[in-house]
Amino acid sequence: MLLRASGLTQGQTLDVHAVTEAGRESGVENGGVLLELAEAVVGRDVDAIARARRGVIDALSVEAMVDAAAVASNFERMVRIADSTGIPLGERLETLGREVIEELGLEKMRWV
């Protein structure tokens, strides 16, 4: 699994189910506040975004919040562009991500 393999390069065991199961620990240091920020960005609730930004600042730093917000925002932008233009995932990414898609039940989220 990609997230697990990514964690292994850092000597960590990561749990991808934290993405779809509220309250579950991912194994990522400060993962809870980072996930809250990512969810707030996607949800576009101004108050939730402000609370999430404050959470990252309190747990990490202003610089970490700026970096995390940039990553979340850029990812959201790329996904929206890909979805709106109908860009397919592609065979290579489909193969690499198949296990995660199946394990987390993400297939039901596909629109195309």
How far is the C-alpha of 12 from the C-alpha of 5, rounded, in Å?
9
Per residue in 72-94, pLDDT (tens digit) is: 888 878 878 887 888 877 787 77
Which distant-in-sequence residues (6+ apart) come within 8 Å of 27 by Cβ? 7, 12, 13, 14, 15, 18
Q: Amino acid identity of 25?
A: E
Per residue in 29-63, pLDDT (tens digit) is: 898 899 899 889 888 899 999 999 999 999 999 99
Q: How confident is the model at residue 3 (pLDDT cuts 50, 70, 90)?
A: low
| Six token digits for residue 40 | 């707030």
Under a CB-based contact definition with an 8 Å cutoff, are residues 90 and 75 in contact? no
Domain ranges of the chain: 28-109
Tell whether pTM > 0.85.
no
Q: Helices 91-104 and 2-9: crossing angle, nearest 10°? A: 100
